[in-house]
């Protein structure tokens, strides 16, 4: 009885373990998409705020810091990239840090802060996407 239970338990653990391993394998490739989608969400929220002329300083700060945090996963999302790609990623980080430090309090400041970020997204996409 006890050993039958252990076998069932072992099987269950095996199945769960396999599912995790398979998820890890599958998520390797699309993680780059996830990182980009996250950035796109936060950058999109910022430009939508400018368009709607509703720029809340606290929200802007939150989206900018999420945008910056997401970039910390670039190395994992894009393994084995060349130096020019890394340079673009560094440029994006610098522009995002600068925007965070500027702490845009109104739409005019926010528009000015996100412009160089958008330009960097575009310049990397032109070369690598």
Interacting residues toward ligand HEC by CB under 6 A: 32-33, 36-37, 39-40, 43, 85, 88-89, 92, 117, 120-121, 124-125, 128-129
Of 128, 71, 73, 59, which Cα lies nearest the Cα of 95?
71
Shortest Å, Cβ 17 to ligand HEC: 27
User: Alpha helix locations (H) across the chain?
Assistant: 2-28, 31-52, 57-71, 74-77, 83-102, 107-128
Shortest Å, Cβ 59 to ligand HEC: 17
Report the greatest alpha carbon distance in the chain: 72
* CB nearer ligand HEC, residue 39 or residue 110: 39
Shortest Å, Cβ 43 to ligand HEC: 4
Cα–Cα distance for residue pair 14/33, rounded to 1 Å: 29
- C-alpha 20 chain-centroid distance: 22
* CB nearer ligand HEC, residue 85 or residue 100: 85
* CB nearer ligand HEC, residue 55 or residue 77: 77
* CB nearer ligand HEC, residue 54 or residue 125: 125
């Amino acid at each position: 009885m006890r050993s039958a239970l252990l076998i069932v338990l072992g099987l269950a653990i095996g199945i769960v373990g396999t599912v995790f391993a398979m998820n890890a394998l599958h998520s390797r490739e699309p993680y780059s998409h996830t990182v980009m989608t996250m950035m796109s969400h936060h950058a999109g929220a910022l430009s939508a705020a400018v368009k709607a002329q509703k720029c809340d300083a606290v929200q802007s700060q939150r989206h900018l810091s999420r945008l910056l945090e997401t970039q910390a996963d670039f190395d994992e999302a894009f393994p084995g990239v060349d130096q020019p790609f890394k340079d673009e990623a560094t440029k994006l980080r610098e522009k995002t840090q600068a925007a965070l430090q500027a702490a845009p309090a109104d739409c005019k400041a926010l528009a000015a802060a996100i412009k160089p970020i958008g330009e960097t997204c575009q310049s990397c996409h032109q070369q690598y996407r």
